[in-house]
Chains A and B, each alone.
Chain A
Amino acid sequence: MSEEKKREGEKKKEEKLSRFIVSAPPHLRGPEDVSRIMLLVILALLPVTVEAVAMFGIFAVQTILLCIISSVVTEAVIQKIRGLPITIDDYSAVLTGLLLALCLPPKVPFWIPIIGGIVAIGLGKQVFGGLGFNIFNPALVGRAFLLMSWANHLTGDWYKTVRVDAVSGATPLFVAKQLRAGLVNVDLSQFYKPLLLANPYGSMGEVSALLITLGGLFLIVMGIIDWKIPAGYIGTTFLLSWLLGGDPIFYILAGGMLFGAFYMATDYVTTPITGKGRLFFGIGCGLVTVLIRFYSNFPEAVTYSILFMNACTPLIDIYIKPKKFGAVVK
């Protein structure tokens, strides 16, 4: 009896001990976590996604869903093979899939988004070790791969099959390129309104510059993305296009410029960590974009400019460090 009591007493003592968790400070944690951040970015992308679906219908739905499913499945399969915890519930793969879909045209063969998702997550992210370790923006890796492999499916005349009122096969940027070459004579300002509100040419993420900007501002206000990257990117593009004799407003609205500036160039993992470094990153993106748009054979440049600056990120982080508090010469 007494022994039983003793044991009970010990048990109680143990229970009392294990009531307390001991860990290092701080003992309070902020409201932010990774999945919440990813969900907020997805939320910011919803208006654009909805407009794309409204404009292109079932084709858009198919492409978006296939991209997301392919990305998420690839992530889960690779993590399973590597014996790691499966972290698809952090929504980062969902976001990659959605971003990839939005930089594809609405109607592509069904295997394009599937391969895109596999490459984006597999080659863009998981080979480096997963979330936090990749050097290049996964969605852009997927897009660049598809663009180089099946350019005809990404830039071809897919739109003729979905839009009866499509009269020209040229995206606004292609028109601008022809204008610079002196092949056509058009006023680029006629594109302002469609580019802002409902642009049928190009990728799904280019349907409305207005919705993209609103989503981007939402993320800035919520403290999810740093304003310095889009500001540097857009500002530089505006200034350089203008200096080089282009129509600066057109060059900002057209193509994947705004989509890239707000959603791709602001990817945490692949961009510098300091405020100054981010501004520098944005300026670099703008510089490369304008150079490619004006002096190369490609009409569009956002993908490659961001990937190029992704490669420069470690270098920027080494050279740009914040000034320490009290770091004065004694």
Chain B
Amino acid sequence: MVKKLSKIITAWVPQESKVIDFGCGDGSLLKELIDSKKILGYGVEINNKKIEECIAKGVPVIKQDIDKGLHEFESSNFDISIMARSIQCLKDPSLALNRMLKLSKRCVVTLPNLGYWKCRINLVSGKMPVTPELPSSWHETENIHLCTINDFENLCEEQNIKIKDKVFLNSKGKQSKIVSMSPNLLATEGVYLLEKE
């Protein structure tokens, strides 16, 4: 899953560009981009253990709570910002999207799809969804702003955010024709390349 995701994102990141990855985790994606695209990359991470792993990989990293300040990076002229599997954890995803598009021309966002049919079955049976993509129970999850593919695309439209490209992944982390025909029902994850209009 992660490998496939990084392949999609890598294709969208220009050679030698300046990249910021919000919620960069252990820095694997940035490390890949540094090696394959010779980017100048910075990770933003809140967990010190993960920060340590970034530093071990030689990936520049900044300790920061994303909820508390994306605006601080506005002066740095990034080409592209990335937020993989984190936007649903933020207090104000809409503000975060707009801020990302202020600090970089383009941004990549990936998010789990609550409209995925297995999630719907969970809900129909009267339970909050627990799936391989959303493994935590309702009281343990960090995902406070889950949405469906349609919800997210509606938000982009409302905010005048242009979807330049998108890829939908199935439960095996793969693209397929069937999934792209009905992503709101069949995709587990949406991967977007966004631009401000």
- Bind each other: no
Interface residues of A, Cβ cutoff 8 Å to B: none
